[in-house]
Amino acid sequence: MSRATHCPYCALQCAMFVEAAPGQAPAARPAPFPTNRGGLCRKGWTSAELLASPQRLTAPLLRTRRGDFTEVDWDTALDHVAQRLTALRERHGPDAVAVFGSGGLTNEKSYLLGKFARVALGTSQIDYNGRFCMSSAAAAGNRAFGLDRGLPFPLPDLAGAEVVLLAGANPAETMPPMMRHLAAPRLIVVDPRRTATAEQALKNGGMHLAPRPGTDLALALGLLHAVRAQGLVDTEYVAARTTGFEDAWRHAAAWWPEQTEQVTGVPAEHIRAAARALAAASGAYVLTGRGTEQHAKGTDTVSAWINLALALGLPGREGSGYGCITGQGNGQGGREHGQKADQLPGYRRIDDPAARAHVAGVWGVDPATLPGPGRSAFELLDALGGPGGPRALLVFGSNPVVSAPDAQRVRNRLAGLDLLVTADFVLSETAALGDVVLPVAQWAEEEGTMTNLEGRLLRRRALLAPPPGVRTDLEVISGLARRLGQPAERFPADPARVLAELGAASAGGAADYSGVSLERLEAGEEVFWPVPDAHATTPRLFLDSFAHPDGRARFAPVGHRPPAEAVDAEYPLLATTGRVMGHYQSGAQTRRIRELAGAQPEAFVEVHPDTGARSGLAEGALARVVSRRGAALARVRLTEHARPDTVFLPFHFAGEQAANNLTNPALDPTSRMPEFKVSAVRLEPAGPPDAPGAAAEPARAAPPHG
């Protein structure tokens, strides 16, 4: 049996076939599709292995008084959860219960989870790990264009460009099939590291601009200065399609390239050359990624890159544009339909009376009963178990013990809960701390839809039956809702019914899915949101006007400011984090796949040889990277291409190897994005070169909560 579906990992959502012959392990192979053009990365090729993993959970787990887990039946598990939730809500109010979702959930699950939180639980305390992914770009996109869609154009458009600037994005490792669209354009890569993408750019006559971590905003201002000083502003476009250029220019006026070089370390002549290359190109794109967004000033930094694109006249033109490279598989759809603390389905604001009335009408409830905005992701995690904070947390498809900043602080907060419930298919590090663990189906065992980085709607198909004893997330949400007193028809477990309701709830909103149907997707139509009727699709946004009432894009007046913490004699280096090709996000999936774990079994830290020598560290040594919050163990990799003031760690590993033991939870004032990308650290030897690293396997159990 071979059926078509899409990869379970990143937002590229490569098409693939999954083959499952009787008595044989399932296997994946690529399928032709516009986004991946018949390619897969090693994660996609090996993705089917996890379906038959011996580490799959197949029965609910309940924490005993002894502190270990015991298997129970579903009725026992769900009854226990519902009784505990009811008691906590009665004693402390509805906000005593919180929900933490995921950008990996299908549209249907994202929608029903948001509805469950606000209707069945009545809580405002819901957010999701996508807050750590794209929230800064979303805030900046809404500010500039009046609408946020990662790429407001189809990915294949990039292949026709002459120049593409990638700010804080490394698709050669994070989503390799995307590079098929970037083979022809000249690339300008902005990244403190000499990444695989930067290497590709240099090999093909492009540029690598390597700013000091935390100075991307200054570099974007310097590029805007170079554009204007060299007479390269598209003045007709700026006059006809934008507002606010002069206010934005006042902030860029002081950032002549030599001044920018002093702050960023990027040579002034390279700044001027990059500005000329973008302006002279017959087609050009500016794309941002996590590296430029995951800062306490991430929204303003993305706005500065958008300002550059607007000054060059790129957004809203065929063959040119601005876009954000979404990270998680459903990072786009996951934030459109109600998982985010301040949003209702259709990308509606939860504090908008008209939005509340529309959605409440679809849900059959009084708008006054819907809660208001809740805490953002890290603020929610940091409030757990504290005064006035939630006493219970339900986690669906996320592993915040590894993925959240200041990870030890988050572990401590989870330990202070009265109840932690996780829905997962393996015992992740977060699930291992739980009171109840609910085993749920994987990507190839469920139906649903996803929205990829282009805003393209995709069909997820159930290719295999889940193992006996495993339920879908929709079945879990539906079962809990009924036990909390909700009518069964209000929380259906059938994904087709949920999609139809999602369409009604999103109708008229910015992210309108009302015209989406399984029939259209099954027929192979290219469906991009907004989809206001059964025939609509919107592959390219903003060609006629932007989404603000006057139809114009907005320049944002933004200025550079330093990172949230500075280096000093005790912490003289900057640490930045990111992904590597073989692993995905917190590693809960990929660390369980033999080929991927074998290729990258432990954390590493990239260090310049001079920096390593000053710290007494040779190639292959085990190092302790120490910040003001915690420490991480990592194997030293020396590279001449590293900045002497900067070290890099991947964030896929757990326990003592977790890079997020180091990271700073300082938050962007607009997006509430934590400052993942800049931490002040020092390096210390942690043992002889052959000393083993911390175990990469996740913990199996933990003491009960206090």
Query: Exposed, middle or buried, 1 (CB in 10 Å: 0-12/13-18/19+)?
Result: exposed
Question: Where do we find the tokens 């190897």?
Answer: 657
Distances, alpha carbon 224 to alpha carbons 248, 327, 555, in Å: 10, 27, 12
pLDDT in tens, 611-650: 999 999 999 999 999 999 999 999 999 999 999 999 999 9
pLDDT at site 25: 84
How far, in Å, CA of 630 to CA of 94, rounded? 34
pLDDT at site 22: 77
- Cα angle at 506 between 502 and 507, to 5 degrees? 115
Provide the token pair at 40: 């897969």
Q: What is the average pLDDT across 97-116?
A: 97
Q: Would the pLDDT of 706 be above 70?
A: no
pLDDT at site 329: 87
pLDDT in tens, 371-423: 999 999 999 999 999 999 999 999 999 999 999 999 999 999 999 999 999 99
Beta bridge partners of 623: 634, 685
Dihedral sign (CA 400, 402, 404, 408): positive
Dihedral sign (CA 477, 482, 487, 493): positive
How far, in Å, CA of 706 to CA of 697, rounded? 25
pLDDT at site 23: 77
pLDDT in tens, 306-316: 999 999 999 99
pLDDT in tens, 551-577: 999 999 999 999 999 999 999 999 999
pLDDT at site 691: 53
pLDDT in tens, 467-482: 999 999 999 999 999 9
- pLDDT-derived band at 688 (thresholds 50, 70, 90) equals low
Provide the token pair at 465: 């039956």
What share of the chain in percent tops pLDDT 70? 97
Instruction: Choose the weakest-confidence range: 227-231, 576-580, 686-690.
Output: 686-690
Rounded to the nearest integer, the mean pLDDT of the chain is: 95
Q: Would the pLDDT of 704 be above 50?
A: no
Provide the token pair at 634: 């990592």
Q: What is the average pLDDT across 342-346?
A: 96
Q: What is the average pLDDT across 547-554?
A: 98
pLDDT at site 687: 75
Q: Would the pLDDT of 693 be above 70?
A: no
8 A C-beta contact, residue 384 and residue 409 = no
- Tally Cβ neighbours within 10 Å of residue 366: 10
Q: Would the pLDDT of 136 be above 70?
A: yes
Phi, psi (deg, nearest 5) at residue 594: -55, -50
Structural domains for the chain: 2-52 (2.20.25.90), 61-132+330-522 (3.40.50.740), 135-325 (3.40.228.10), 573-687 (2.40.40.20)
Q: Would the pLDDT of 153 be above 70?
A: yes
- pLDDT-derived band at 601 (thresholds 50, 70, 90) equals very high
Beta strands in 558-600 (DSSP E): 573-578
- Cα angle at 7 between 4 and 11, to 5 degrees? 130
In a 13 Å sphere around the CA of 507, the CA atoms on its Cβ side amount to 16
Length of the chain: 706
- pLDDT-derived band at 690 (thresholds 50, 70, 90) equals low
Entry pTM = 0.95
Q: Would the pLDDT of 3 be above 90?
A: no
- Cα angle at 590 between 586 and 596, to 5 degrees? 130
Q: Would the pLDDT of 692 be above 70?
A: no
How far, in Å, CA of 323 to CA of 618, rounded? 40
Q: What is the DSSP letter of 456?
A: B
Query: What is the torsion angle, in degrees rounded to the nearest 10, for the CA atoms of residue 248, residue 342, residue 399 and residue 630?
Result: 50
Provide the token pair at 57: 């959970």
How far, in Å, CA of 223 to CA of 249, rounded? 11
Q: Enumerate residues 6+ apart whose C-beta is below 8 A from 678.
A: 213, 214, 295, 563, 564, 565, 574, 575, 576, 664
Task: Indicate the pairing of strand 419-424 with strand 436-439.
Answer: parallel
8 A C-beta contact, residue 696 and residue 657 = yes
3-state secondary structure of 486: coil
First vs last C-alpha separation in the chain: 49
pLDDT at site 689: 52
Task: Indicate the pairing of strand 622-627 with strand 631-638.
Answer: antiparallel
- pLDDT-derived band at 698 (thresholds 50, 70, 90) equals very low
Beta strands in 310-380 (DSSP E): 321-324, 343-344, 348-349
pLDDT in tens, 573-589: 999 999 999 999 898 99
Phi, psi (deg, nearest 5) at residue 646: -135, 140
Q: What is the average pLDDT across 672-687?
A: 96
Dihedral sign (CA 42, 45, 49, 50): positive
Rg of the chain over all Cα atoms, to the nearest angstrom:
24
Provide the token pair at 8: 């379970």
Residue from 604, 645, 626, 610 nearest 684 by CA: 626
